[in-house]
Structure 1
Amino acid sequence: MYQYFNGLVIREGTEGVPAPYVEALFEDAGWARNTPTWQKEKFSLIFMNSAWAFTVWDNEKMIGMVRVISDKIMAANIMDLVVLSEYRGRGIGKKLVQLCIEKLPHGDWFAHTSANNFKFYETCGFEVKNLTKNGTCAYYGYIQARKEGHR
């Protein structure tokens, strides 16, 4: 699936995500540096057991991504939501979270993250469950389902 968002292309899929682009995103976010050659394959292997993934492209440059681990029925965990620093503040991250929730709208969603991201997840409809340095943000789809009359 492809869709357009503010002049960018969002691709859905866990296959064929190029490891060098993922590594560049992780480096920009401060999550990786000086990765040994023998470990570089992990940047594409992480998608193999992910339930869903979305990547964001500006022409031939991958500028954002998110991947999800889920049972695809009741619960899901947002993993590795990242947008290149020069593209932040344009609603890309929020759009990625929205696309994730659409995959399991009445499920429970979690994102374990650092405190500096709590406000972002709150704007996406999540509750902050732990106000320590790192914590879990949660979106309870069953509450939304009740509001919509599904449960």
Structure 2
Amino acid sequence: MYQYFNGLIIREGTVGIPADQVEALFKDAGWVRDTPDWQKEKFTLIFNNSTWAFTVWDQEHMIGMVRGISDQIMAANIMDLNVSSRYRGQGIGQKLVELCVQKLPHGDWFAHTSADNFPFYEKCGFEVRDLSENGTCSYYGYIEARKSGHRRTGRKG
């Protein structure tokens, strides 16, 4: 499935997403630096193991993406919402969130993000709660892996 949005194409699907284009978006967002060659497949595998995904294309360049992980009944999580810095402010991110929510309109949606993104998610209809009373517990396995030496950082591989 695909649709047009402001002269761009939005594709739905979790298969065939080019790892190099995902990595480029992650670099643009500051989420990764130098990924060792042996880890590059993760940029494709994250989509293969997602419930839903939408990518945004300007010609042959992927300029936006979002993944959804869900039980498809009650709850879903927005993962890796990312729009290239050159294309931000054009409503692309909001459109991607809207497409996700349409997949499970009566379910509970969650977005794990930093506080500077809270106003964006509020514009998309999400509620930012007082975390002193109600919050999300997190375990960051990738940080633990880095501490224990199981994950390389910044090395060419």
Q: TM-score, normalised by structure 2?
A: 0.83
Deviation of the 1:130 alpha carbon: 4.6
Equivalenced residue count is: 134
Residues 125 and 54 of structure 1, relative CA distance in 2, 3 Å threshold: same
Residue aligning to 1:96: 96
Residue aligning to 2:17: 17
Residue aligning to 1:3: 3
Higher relative contact order (CA 8 A, sep 6+): 2
Within 2, Cα distance between the matches of 1:41 and 1:33? 15
Residue aligning to 1:121: 121
SS of residue in 2 equivalent to 1:46: helix
Q: What RMSD, in angstroms, separates the aligned Cα atoms of the two structures?
A: 1.3
Residues 130 and 84 of structure 1, relative CA distance in 2, 3 Å threshold: farther
SS of residue in 2 equivalent to 1:47: helix
Contact 1:115 1:131 (8 Å CA) reproduced = no
Q: Percent identity at matched positions?
A: 78
Contact 1:54 1:96 (8 Å CA) reproduced = yes
Q: What do residues 2-28 of structure 1 show as CA deviations (whole Å, max 9, x unaligned)?
A: 100000000000000000000000000
Which structure has greater strand proportion? 1
Deviation of the 1:129 alpha carbon: 2.4
Within 2, Cα distance between the matches of 1:89 and 1:131? 28
Larger radius of gyration: 2
Contact 1:70 1:76 (8 Å CA) reproduced = yes
Q: What do residues 30-52 of structure 1 show as CA deviations (whole Å, max 9, x unaligned)?
A: 00010000000000000121000
Residue aligning to 1:73: 73
Within 1, Cα distance between the matches of 2:29 and 2:47? 18
Regions of 4+ moved over 3 Å:
none
SS of residue in 2 equivalent to 1:128: coil
Structure 2 segments unaligned to the other structure (5+ residues): 137-157
